[in-house]
Structure 1
Amino acid sequence: MARRTRRNTSTTTAPDDAAGHVPSVRESYARLRDARQGRLMHSRRMRAAQLKGLGRLLAEGEKDLLDALADDLGKPHVEARLTELDLVKHEVEYALHHLADWMEPQHAKVPIMLQPAGAKTEAQPKGAMLIMGAWNYPVQVLLGPLVGALAAGNVAALKPSELAPATSRAIARLVPRYLDPRAVQVLEGDAEVAAELLDLEWDHICFTGSERVGKIVAAAAAQHLTPVTLELGGKSPAVVLDGNLHAAARRIAHGKSLNAGQTCTAPDYVLAVGQGMEKLPEIIHRAFVRFFGRDAQKSRDYGRIVNRKAFNRLVSFIEDAEIDRSVKVIGGHYDAADLYIEPTILVGVSPDAPIMQEEIFGPILPVLAVDSLDEAMQFIGDRPSPLAAYLFSERPRPHAAFEQQVRAGAIAFNVCNLHAAVSTLPFGGVGASGVGSYHGKFGFDEFSQLRPVFSKTALVDTLKIAYPPYRKGKEKVVRNVNLGFNSRKRVDVKPGDKPGL
């Protein structure tokens, strides 16, 4: 597969097209704060205009973005379109369709004691957001959260990953053409730029990346008590119990080979349950061959590893497995000059092996044998909570057990990754795999302040009963007032009552 020459990482901010000036981080931040103070994005008309601009960016800038993704990651255009651009386009269309409903205040009931009164909740913009993208899906995880941020009425600074420099430059070039620079600023650069951004006081930070950097982001945000959304990943397991093994193998192979395995929701390892699973690794291998041929390096549909550092890390896993005679390696070819690693299956890996201690984030798939579904769920539960957990089974009882006992950001049955493409589902982790969620209405809610509004007339002061002095008669009346919504039923809890009685 021919690959374009990689370029040097940019360390500057995006140019201001109107003035031909490259603003500093502080200047961009000041511009966004001014727009926040001026309530630039509060109206539905302005929010919709920016969302439509983002939609045009994705449509008219498609070729630039696809070429950049090929430069950075060797992504085939079809895969990049499906997993990057189309997902964000759908988010834009979904937000535009539902924006008016999302912005509508919601009526809230008022307890009888406080009536007459009115109450509602209204979604208010949080203000100025910082969105920090990742290199593995540098369009989707940067512009996807931007959809929710704009729909919620925020202004935003976008920090693309410097590890995907061509995509970073393309986004920095396109955003000012289609979005109001008062509302959205792109700031390119390395870790120094990221540190300078994190030193500023934002109203919300959304970060996608590793757990290690996520902790740095959370610590920086804590200095200003800034709320965060962290999408971090983890070792997402695929448990194969029963059903059509060939279909399961194809779906696991597809989920693992997307973006050459550099996907946060990719199946990180397989737990093959019980007897009859001995052939599963070979079946998965045949699925890889069916997708990419005997030599995946020649396939136009298979990507590459992002850089030499990531490549060397992944190769070390393969080399460790080749040294261990108890491990069977299926595949394992690689080419440093091309940053190519063949889809590789490792059979018989020890749970204590280095590859099982961290997220693989590459096209290497350990397959471990377990005796039962209970053992598989215990195996998952003994480790940090993953971003997703997959069970391949056609029986409802294992489905129910898996849902109840496995803690993960998402659960999916008989498929991998696809839940992240559904706008009506939240996307996010739990524990070590993340904090908060977005997509669709969940992104609107995540990046909004749900503000309560309470209103009560003063023409007749019905609160006199609550004013001091609290003489004996008034205290008795107050204690017998029903604070709930049902005036005909009152439940008194007496001292000494046991829970549940």
Structure 2
Amino acid sequence: MSEFKSNSIEEVDDAYKTLHATFRAGITRPFSWRKHQLNQVILMLRENIDIIVQALATDLRKPSQETIVGEIGTIVRRATQSAAQLDEWASDEIVTVPDWQQGWSPTVLKRPKGVVLVISPWNYPIALSLQPVVGAIAAGCPALLKPSEISPATSSVLADLYPKYLDQSAYRVINGGVPEVTYLLKLKWDHIMYTGNAVIARIVAKAAAEHLTPVTLELGGKSPVVIDPKTTNLKIAAKRVLWGKTVNAGQICVAPDYVLIPRSAQDDFVEAIKEAAVELHIDSTLTSDSYSSIVSEGHFKRLQNMMTKSSGKLVVGGNTDEQNRRITPTVYRDVEKDDSLLEGEIFGPVLPIVPVDDIRQAIEYINAHPHPLTLYAFTEDPEVKQTLRDETRSGSLNFNDVIQPLAVDQLPFSGVGESGYGHQTLKYSYDEYTYLRSSVDIPLALEPHFSARYPPYTQATTEALAVHSGAIEAPATGAKL
């Protein structure tokens, strides 16, 4: 595994020029070429599982199971399906038109937008780097990937593997930190994909606006969990929610951020959480190979500070290991609405329980805050489900489990408002980097039918075209206009 190395500005310029020249030359457009590159992504991942697992263990101490299933398996599956369905997605569409336009060959052409810049995060440094790249490949777009410097081992592996598997005239990795990404954002791209936080997203969107470049933003936010104790199994709900805080040590954009539960059921839910903590062996978190570490000292101290300042009552966990940046999955009850744990996205293995009067108050609390990336609810009540569908806004709405909905590849993944915009996964990724180009081919032989459109206009031509356009109703048979 090579040492992390930032690329020079000269290397950035070379990559930028090369990718644009490749697109202009049409190299990325043949379907056969795209499918080959998608298969190369699959090969790259499958032939280097051990190297990738080691890289993520170095960066995050991520368990090999989470890397293989959540990072490698996800991309292999989606790249495979993208190659299989590319012909269907990318085929031109003949549209249905009125009879008098049918000879015009009205067609929707699906064409690649151009060169894509992908700025990816550290928490899922393989999946969230290559997911957009898979979409770009399928769409026929070259792409420059800027992975996170906060996960340097994985970023270095990507830089090492890319030239061995992917066409370097179309796909490059540029490593670096703030100076490099700042320079990249000054350049004109045909689309920018950014995954991260809302603060940096505003910088990306502002830079893109200078060139009128379209942007996809996948952000996070505080994803709530609503518990309806009247109809749900609290033990199952507690285990699933707590598990969601153990995956990648809670460092995932769709991790359950906090729980809203009627205060009359809080005691029962807390007891269920305690039982789940035993089942999930969280007491061994600080030394277990089944849990990730916090990515950096800065992120560790941020979480530690949030925990120290919280006025909630600790009921599970709370243990930390600063040297190895590990935090036991931790749960607080009776968390007030102005608590430190509710100020911003937690992005760690800490779960506040916020008691409310009822489900209605839970909905009011959610609606009083920025729209989350996802909203979870544990309920079997059809009316509660429909109320949540109708009266809340979030990127996704998922019932009776957490995180697992990401496994449904056929659904679009997107935020709304503060949690981002644009769509991902399979055809939705393909569509994101594709633009629809309208096309007609009007035969010259139809010229006699167009005589009324030419000057000089007369009352007869105006009346005829007014009826034809729908501006006025056609007169009844025998009537005069």
Task: With the length of structure 1 as denominator, give the TM-score of the two structures.
Answer: 0.91
> Equivalent residue of 2:352, what SS?
strand
Question: Equivalent of 1:302, from 285, 291, 294?
Answer: 291
Letter in 2 for 1:142: S
Question: Equivalent of 1:327, from 313, 316, 323?
Answer: 313
> Are 1:287 and 2:273 an aligned pair?
no
Q: CA 1:431–1:405 in 2, change beyond 3 Å: closer, same or farther?
A: same
Greater per-residue helix proportion: 2
> Cα deviations across residues 222-261 of structure 1 (Å, max 9, x unaligned)?
0100000000111000101031111111111111211000
> Equivalent residue of 2:117, what SS?
strand
Letter in 2 for 1:347: R
Query: How do residues 368-407 of structure 1 correspond to structure 2 at under 5 angstroms?
Result: 368-407=354-393
**Structure 2 Cα separation of the partners of residues 247 and 318 of structure 1:** 26
> Cα deviations across residues 120-171 of structure 1 (Å, max 9, x unaligned)?
1121011100011100000010001111100000000000100000000011
Structure 1 unmatched ranges of 5 or more: 1-5, 14-21, 490-501
Task: Give the match for residue 109 of structure 1.
Answer: 96
**Structure 2 Cα separation of the partners of residues 394 and 94 of structure 1:** 33
Letter in 2 for 1:285: K
> Equivalent residue of 1:463, what SS?
helix
Q: CA 1:146–1:476 in 2, change beyond 3 Å: closer, same or farther?
A: same
Query: How do residues 134-145 of structure 1 correspond to structure 2 at under 5 angstroms?
Result: 134-145=121-132
Letter in 2 for 1:280: F
> Are 1:458 and 2:444 an aligned pair?
yes
Query: How do residues 205-224 of structure 1 correspond to structure 2 at under 5 angstroms?
Result: 205-224=192-211
Q: CA 1:316–1:293 in 2, change beyond 3 Å: closer, same or farther?
A: closer
Task: Give the match for residue 438 of structure 1.
Answer: 424
Letter in 2 for 1:311: F
Letter in 1 for 2:437: R
Question: Equivalent of 1:52, from 11, 29, 39?
Answer: 39
Letter in 2 for 1:34: A
Q: How far is the alpha carbon of 1:483 from its aligned partner?
A: 5.3
Task: Give the match for residue 479 of structure 2.
Answer: none
Letter in 1 for 2:455: P
Task: With the length of structure 2 as denominator, give the TM-score of the two structures.
Answer: 0.94
Q: Which deviates more, 281-290 or 208-217?
A: 281-290
Task: Give the match for residue 87 of structure 1.
Answer: 74
Task: Give the match for residue 117 of structure 2.
Answer: 130
Letter in 2 for 1:200: L
**Structure 2 Cα separation of the partners of residues 346 and 232 of structure 1:** 25
Task: Tell me the number of residue pairs that the alignment of Structure 1 and Structure 2 aligns.
Answer: 472
Q: How far is the alpha carbon of 1:279 from its aligned partner?
A: 2.2
**Structure 1 Cα separation of the partners of residues 243 and 313 of structure 2:** 23
> Equivalent residue of 2:390, what SS?
helix
**Structure 2 Cα separation of the partners of residues 128 and 115 of structure 1:** 35
Q: How far is the alpha carbon of 1:487 from its aligned partner?
A: 10
**Structure 2 Cα separation of the partners of residues 381 and 487 of structure 1:** 50
Question: Equivalent of 1:61, from 48, 51, 56?
Answer: 48
Residue identity (%): 35
**Structure 2 Cα separation of the partners of residues 189 and 295 of structure 1:** 36
Q: How far is the alpha carbon of 1:113 from its aligned partner?
A: 5.1
> Equivalent residue of 2:344, what SS?
coil
What is the root-mean-square deviation of aligned Cα atoms in Å? 2.0
Contact conserved, 1:285 with 1:345, CA < 8 A, in 2? no
> Are 1:11 and 2:6 an aligned pair?
yes
Contact conserved, 1:110 with 1:117, CA < 8 A, in 2? no
Q: How far is the alpha carbon of 1:292 from its aligned partner?
A: 2.7
Contact conserved, 1:248 with 1:415, CA < 8 A, in 2? yes
Q: CA 1:306–1:74 in 2, change beyond 3 Å: closer, same or farther?
A: same
Q: CA 1:200–1:295 in 2, change beyond 3 Å: closer, same or farther?
A: same
Structure 2 unmatched ranges of 5 or more: 477-481
Question: Equivalent of 1:186, from 173, 176, 190?
Answer: 173
**Structure 2 Cα separation of the partners of residues 476 and 385 of structure 1:** 52
Question: Equivalent of 2:216, from 212, 229, 236?
Answer: 229
Letter in 2 for 1:41: T
> Cα deviations across residues 19-51 of structure 1 (Å, max 9, x unaligned)?
xxx961001101101101101110001100100
Q: Which deviates more, 460-469 or 298-307?
A: 460-469
Query: How do residues 479-490 of structure 1 correspond to structure 2 at under 5 angstroms?
Result: 479-482=466-469
Task: Give the match for residue 332 of structure 2.
Answer: 346
Q: How far is the alpha carbon of 1:406 from its aligned partner?
A: 1.2
> Equivalent residue of 1:168, what SS?
helix
Q: CA 1:487–1:125 in 2, change beyond 3 Å: closer, same or farther?
A: farther
